[in-house]
A and B are shown apart, each in its own frame.
Chain A
Amino acid sequence: MIQIMNLLYFQQLVFRTIFIFACYMDIVSANEECIPLNVLIIQKVENLGFHRDLNWFIETRDLNPDKWLNSSCNVTLKIDVGKGVFVNPDQADDLKRLGKLDILINGTVDVEVPAHEGKSYSVYIYLNRTEFLRSINVKLPIHLRYQRSLLGGHGHVTLSKPQLLVHCPGSNKIICGKNTKIMAPVSSEEPNNIKVWKNVYYQGELGVMELEVPIGNLNDYSYVSVITCILGCAGCIYIISLMSAK
Chain B
Amino acid sequence: MLKNIQELASKPLCVLEKWFKADMVTHIIVSSMIRLCLVVYGAFHDQHYDVPYTDVDYKVFTDAARHVVQGGSPYDRHTFRYSPLIAILLTPNVFFHPMFGKIIFCEVDLVVAYFIRRLVYLNVFEWMSKYESYASEKAPLDAIEEKKPIKTRKRKGMPSKYNVKVQTAIYWAHRAMLFWLYNPLTMAISTRGNSDSIACLLVVLTLYGIQSNWHPFLVGLLHGFSVHFRIYPVIYSLLFFMYYSGFAYEFELPSFPQYKAIKSEKKTKKNKLAKRVDSGEVCRRNPESLKIFATSFWWYLWPNTQQLMLVMGAACSLLSLTGVFYYMYGYKFLYESLIYHLVRVDFKHNFSLYFYLQYLTAFVTMPMWFTGNFWQPILINLPPIVLILNFSFRYGLNKFSLNFGVLAQTIVFVIFNKVITSQYFVWIMGVLPLCIWQIKLSKAEVVAMTVIWFAAQGAWLVPAYLLEFRGEDTFLYIWIQSVSLFCAHIGIFGRLVKNFILPMGVLKNYNGRSLASSIFQSD
Contact = CB atoms under 8 A, between A and B. Distances in A.
Question: Is chain B a partner of chain A in the same complex?
Answer: yes
Interface of A: 47-51, 89-90, 93-95, 98, 108-112, 114, 116, 146, 148-149, 152-154, 212-218, 220-222, 224-229, 231-233, 235-236, 238-240, 242-243, 245-246
Interface string B299-312: 00000000000000
Contacts of B360: 149, 216, 218, 220-221, 224-225
Interface stretch (B185-193, B221-229, B233-241, B374-382): B374-382
Nearest to B46: A94
Contact of B494 (A90, A216, A239): A239
Given A228-B354, A232-B353, A216 B475 contact: yes
Contact of A222 (B47, B368, B494, B505): B368
Contacts of B474: 214
B379 A233 contact: yes
24 contacts: A48-B470, A49-B470, A49-B472, A50-B469, A51-B468, A110-B78, A111-B78, A146-B359, A148-B362, A149-B363, A152-B473, A214-B471, A220-B356, A220-B476, A220-B479, A222-B368, A225-B370, A228-B356, A231-B487, A232-B379, A235-B487, A236-B382, A236-B383, A246-B504
Contacts of B363: 114, 116, 148-149
Given A146-B348, A226-B370, A228-B357, 14 more contacts: A49-B467, A90-B56, A94-B46, A95-B50, A109-B78, A146-B347, A149-B363, A213-B471, A215-B473, A220-B476, A221-B361, A224-B479, A229-B357, A229-B379
B59 interface: yes
Contacts of B359: 146, 149, 216
A221 B363 CA distance: 13
Nearest to B370: A226
A17 to B, nearest CB: 61
A231 B387 contact: no
A93 B59 CA distance: 10
A231 B471 contact: no
A152 B356 CA distance: 12
Contacts of A47: 469
A235 B52 CA distance: 38
Interface string B344-375: 00011000011011011111101010110001
A243 B371 contact: no
Contacts of A51: 468-469
A214 B364 contact: no
A36 to B, nearest CB: 37
Given A224-B479, A239-B387, A231 B353 contact: yes
B79 interface: yes
Contact of B354 (A89, A94, A232): A232
Given A221-B361, A229-B376, A233-B382, A48 B356 contact: no
Q: Name, among B356, B380, B506, the residue most crowded by chain A CB atoms within 10 Å (CB to CB).
A: B356
B497 interface: yes
Given A148-B363, A214-B467, A232-B416, A225 B368 contact: yes
A153 to B, nearest CB: 6
B78 A218 contact: no
Contact of A225 (B52, B357, B362): B357
A96 B406 CA distance: 44
B490 interface: yes
Contacts of A231: 353, 483, 486-487
- Give the secondary structure class of B's interface: helix
Contacts of A114: 347, 362-363
Contacts of B473: 152-154, 214-215, 217
Contacts of A146: 347-348, 359
Nearest to B359: A216
Interface of B: 46-47, 50, 52, 56, 59, 78-79, 273, 347-348, 353-354, 356-357, 359-364, 366, 368, 370-371, 375-376, 379-380, 382-384, 386-387, 390, 394, 412, 415-416, 467-476, 479, 483, 486-487, 490, 493-494, 497-498, 503-506
Given A226-B370, A243-B394, A50 B483 contact: no
Nearest to B495: A242
A16 to B, nearest CB: 59
**Cβ-closest 3 pairs across A and B:** A236-B383, A229-B379, A214-B473
B356 A224 contact: yes
Contacts of B503: 246
Contacts of B475: 152, 214, 216-217, 220
Nearest to B411: A239
A222 B379 CA distance: 15
A141 to B, nearest CB: 8
B472 A239 contact: no
Contacts of A153: 473
A154 B479 CA distance: 18
A146 B361 CA distance: 13
Contacts of B362: 114, 148-149
A159 to B, nearest CB: 15
B362 to A, nearest CB: 7
A217 to B, nearest CB: 7
A224 B494 contact: no
A242 B467 contact: no
A231 B415 CA distance: 12
A5 B179 CA distance: 105
Contacts of B468: 49-51
Q: Name, among A90, A110, A226, A232, the residue most crowded by chain B CB atoms within 10 Å (CB to CB).
A: A232
Contacts of A239: 387, 412, 490, 493-494, 497
